């Protein structure tokens, strides 16, 4: 069982069904065409020395090239490493080296960034650089020529079952990103549990505007191939364009984070858009405000709140149908092939209505963290994934997320771990101590606030400027507060609860 061959199976059954509409380039591909393109990508990778188990980096904007390379690498037995395009060179250098990525595909927009990475020599293991779009620099391969010259013959499966198919990096509480490993089997079960729970149908049309380096965007593409649907793929989110596509492309379902739904609500024009094809919208990455669910219900659109993680390859819990209104605020029950528990610190199950840590189970749970056996054993115990999120189960088994036990904050749908930001701040000689928390933001949900103890002359503007080039823009500090001492417990851990109470009045536009 090989995930790449799912595309071949679908092409054999529905060769003429539209698989991908690449909106930015106005290109449409049937399943037969997409399968052939993925075969060519696989042969191109093999011709560049990539074999089973080798890691292939994807620093790509949304487009057919991402999809065909992902499936081609999977067929070949290589391991995809989708990379967050918002990261800066230092962050990418760590991930490329940690994963052992040897070939990197990148969109022309990241040419300068990749030139910087290439100039760092053996700080990464990348030996082959392939550019999608534009005119590549010397020593960089042109993607169209590279794939165009390759064979499109069928590719024997180079890996299967419990072999790795992708590693997706997620920020960690220690400050260093961790690579979440998924196998062909865990991805297959993620697809199976999703299609057994949600209303995916043959020849449905799914609008995908989230970046494919997120599991929440990648999973629907894989599920559409399994179910025989069409992915309408946007290069980047735009609220007005999303409404147009929903109307003109007869979109049946989509996935958007709450911030995106808010932007769309502000641009909705009932006179201009036909929503009759739209059956449901999944929304996750952060709790969906009740007011937003109700506003979309008034528009005749069902918002189904979903809860999941990179570690679960997406699915955790979801609320659908009438429950979405009768249980407003809940993220629902576990997906069909999964389980959910809420436990106390001693590992015993909480009573209904009692808050504790959320645990998830199922065959879609990750293999583990790449090169992090201790972190894996701490996160997966007796088959249960300890999520670090706090939640409550009611008498009917519906989960509501109430807080995050870990210190993570979510800004515009992106996970931001304070430890990573604190590590950067503490590298400044003028900062003696620092703590980072999230504060409410009308635009992004949450934004980082830094509480800083000075050891030299430094202003708030200096602190913010110091982070430029060291952190992706969505992680950067928005507010700085100076104090004499950071509150800590006897073991030295920052008391984030105290900091949040001290600055609870701060809210950003």
Adjacent-strand bridge partners of 170:
178
pLDDT score at 476: 87
pLDDT of residue 415: 78
Residue 173 has pLDDT above 60, yes or no: no
d(CA 145, CA 48): 13
pLDDT digits (tens, 9 = 90+) for 336-373: 999 999 999 899 999 998 988 999 999 999 999 999 99
* 3-17+32-160 against 410-502: fold identical: no
What was the pLDDT predicted at 488? 78
Average pLDDT, the chain: 92
Q: Select the highest-mean-pLDDT range: 234-238, 439-443, 472-476.
A: 234-238
Q: What pLDDT is stored for residue 172 in this prediction? A: 58
- Mean pLDDT across 141-158: 96
- The pLDDT value recorded for residue 489 is 64
Q: What percent of the chain has pLDDT over 70?
A: 97
What's the predicted TM-score (pTM) here? 0.85
> Between 3.40.50.720, 3.40.718.10, 3.40.50.980, 3.40.640.10, what CATH number should domain 3-17+32-160 receive?
3.40.50.980
Question: Tokens for 292?
Answer: 């937003």
Lowest-pLDDT range of 73-77, 314-318, 438-442: 438-442
Query: Residue 407 has what pLDDT?
Result: 74
Higher pLDDT, 331 or 443: 331
The mean pLDDT of 8-24, rounded to a whole number, is 98
Q: Quick one: 410-502 is in which CATH superfamily?
A: ANL, C-terminal domain (3.30.300.30)
pLDDT at position 178, please? Answer: 94
Query: What helix, strand, coil percent values describe the chain, rounded to 5?
Result: 35, 25, 40
What is the structure's pLDDT at 129? 98
Helix axes 31-47, 3-13, angle to 10 degrees: 140
Distance (Å, whole) CA 97 – CA 30: 36
Fold (topology level) of 196-339+350-404:
Rossmann fold (3.40.50)
- DSSP character string of 323-351: HHHHTTT--BEEPTT-EEEEE-TTSPBPP
pLDDT one-digit tens code per residue, 273-296:
999 999 999 998 777 777 788 888
In this prediction, residue 334 carries a pLDDT of: 97
pLDDT for residue 443: 84
- Which of 98, 102, 55, 57 shows the shortest CA–CA distance to 79? 55
The pLDDT of residue 72: 98
- In the chain the first and final C-alpha atoms are separated, in Å, by 49
The reported pLDDT for the residue numbered 419 is 74
| Lowest mean pLDDT across 113-122, 172-181, 456-465 | 172-181
Domain range list for the chain: 3-17+32-160, 196-339+350-404, 410-502
Place of tokens 């400044």: 428
**CA 443 centroid distance within chain:** 20
Does residue 235 carry a pLDDT above 60?
Answer: yes
Round to whole Å and give the CA distance between 469 and 319: 40
């Amino acid at each position: 069982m090989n995930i790449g061959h799912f595309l071949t199976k679908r092409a054999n059954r529905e060769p003429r069904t539209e698989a991908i509409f690449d909106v930015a380039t106005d290109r449409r591909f049937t399943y037969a065409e997409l399968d052939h393109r993925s075969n060519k990508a696989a042969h191109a990778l093999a011709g560049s020395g990539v074999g089973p188990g080798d890691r292939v980096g994807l620093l790509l904007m949304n487009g057919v090239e991402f999809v065909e390379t992902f499936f081609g690498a999977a067929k070949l037995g290589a391991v995809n490493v989708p990379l967050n395009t918002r990261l800066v060179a230092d962050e990418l250098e760590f991930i490329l080296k940690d994963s052992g990525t040897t070939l990197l595909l990148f969109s022309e927009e990241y040419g300068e960034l990749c030139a910087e990475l290439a100039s760092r020599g053996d700080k990464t293991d990348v030996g082959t650089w392939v550019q999608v779009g534009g005119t590549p620099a010397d020593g960089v391969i042109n993607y169209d020529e590279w794939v165009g010259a390759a064979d499109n013959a069928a590719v024997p499966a180079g890996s299967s079952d419990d072999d790795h198919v992708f590693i997706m990096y997620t920020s960690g509480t220690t400050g260093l990103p961790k690579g979440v490993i998924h196998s062909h089997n865990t991805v297959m079960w993620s697809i199976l549990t999703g299609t057994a729970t949600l209303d995916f149908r043959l020849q449905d049309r799914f609008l995908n505007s989230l970046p494919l380096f997120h599991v929440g965007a990648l999973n629907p593409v894989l599920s559409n191939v399994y179910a025989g649907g069409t992915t309408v793929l946007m290069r980047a989110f735009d609220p007005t364009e999303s409404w147009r596509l929903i109307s003109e492309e007869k979109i049946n379902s989509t996935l958007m984070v709450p911030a995106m739904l808010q932007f769309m609500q502000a641009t909705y024009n009932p006179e201009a858009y036909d929503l009759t094809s739209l059956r449901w919208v999944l929304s996750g990455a952060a709790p969906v405000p009740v007011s937003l669910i109700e506003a979309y219900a008034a528009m005749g659109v069902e918002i189904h709140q979903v809860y999941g993680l990179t570690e679960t390859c997406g699915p955790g819990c979801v609320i659908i149908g009438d429950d979405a209104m009768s249980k407003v605020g809940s993220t629902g029950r576990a997906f069909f092939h999964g389980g959910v528990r809420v436990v106390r610190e001693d590992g015993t199950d909480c009573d209904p209505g009692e808050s504790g840590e959320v645990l998830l189970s199922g065959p879609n749970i990750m293999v583990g963290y790449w090169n992090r056996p201790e972190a894996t054993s701490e996160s997966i115990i007796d088959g249960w994934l300890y999520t670090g999120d706090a939640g409550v189960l009611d008498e009917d088994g519906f989960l509501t997320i109430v807080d995050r036990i870990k210190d993570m904050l979510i800004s515009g749908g992106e996970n931001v771990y304070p430890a990573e930001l604190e590590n950067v701040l503490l590298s400044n000689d003028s900062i003696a101590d620092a703590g980072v928390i999230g504060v409410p933001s009308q635009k992004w949900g949450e934004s980082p606030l830094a509480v800083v103890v000075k050891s030299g002359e430094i202003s708030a503007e200096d602190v913010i400027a110091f982070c430029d080039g060291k952190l992706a823009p969505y992680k950067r500090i928005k507010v700085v507060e100076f104090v004499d001492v950071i509150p800590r417990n006897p073991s030295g851990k920052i008391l984030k609860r105290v900091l949040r109470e001290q600055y609870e009045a701060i809210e950003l536009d």
